[in-house]
Amino acid sequence: MGYSTILFDMDGTVLDTLQDLWASTNAVLRELGHPERSLDDIRSYVGNGARNQIRCALPEGSGDDAIDDALSRYRAHYAAHCRDHTKPYPGVVEALRRLKDAGKKLAVVSNKPDAAVRLLAAEHFGGLLDVAIIKKSSATQLIPTFLGSILGQGINDPAIEVHHVREVSVECDPPLPMQFDGEVIQDATTPFTMRILPGALCTFVDEVSPFSDLARLEG
């Protein structure tokens, strides 16, 4: 039986984040007047959470208050610089696209700060439009094929091509009116371009909802 959902770790698995982890750690050590650590040192510290990473980087014998202070500084610096040098490992993006094309559900599970996880996942792996292209067919075939693609039933249909992209441009001759959710947009015609803006989708939950602790879900 094949897997329908695949979970990935982030640091050191799909993203090479070590340079930015190293830079932020040393920025805090410099700020506090402590000796900096080598790249190999940081490599040996990561993997068990940011607090453990900072505890190992600080001078031996540092107390909880010193660790808490350094950790707070580290999180602030890393939030601002987590994208400076981080990049996917070679072949990762292509592999994820193939898995998504095969209908797999993908997710990242990480113990790094949530804000950085969301930001990096959106920048490098998220924000993909699912675009279904229906090949030439008769009028009687078009509607059921179209509905099947919406319902996710077109993965193995040879009449449907599915692509996952960040930006789509549509051109035709003669120009045609633009529609959004079935409504014609006034004075708008092709050509047009649409793109995904990571983090632009927000879902708000009312206070009486059983899910009110998820008051703001960023997509």
Catalytic residue ranges: 9
Please say whether the beta carbons of 183 and 190 come within 8 A. Answer: no
Q: Please give the single-letter amino acid code of residue 93.
A: V
- Region of 49 on the Ramachandran plot (φ > 0 left; ψ -120 to 50 alpha; else beta): left
CA distance 207 to 43: 43
Dihedral angle of Cα 109, 111, 115, 121, to the nearest 10 degrees: -30
Distance set, CA 114 to CA 40, 117, 120, 126, 218 (Å)? 25, 5, 10, 15, 12
Do 148 and 87 form a contact (C-beta atoms < 8 A)? no
- Those residues whose C-beta lies under 8 Å from the C-beta of residue 177, and which sit 6 or more positions away, are 184, 185, 188, 189
Which helix (H) or strand (E) segment holds residue 15: the answer is strand 15-16
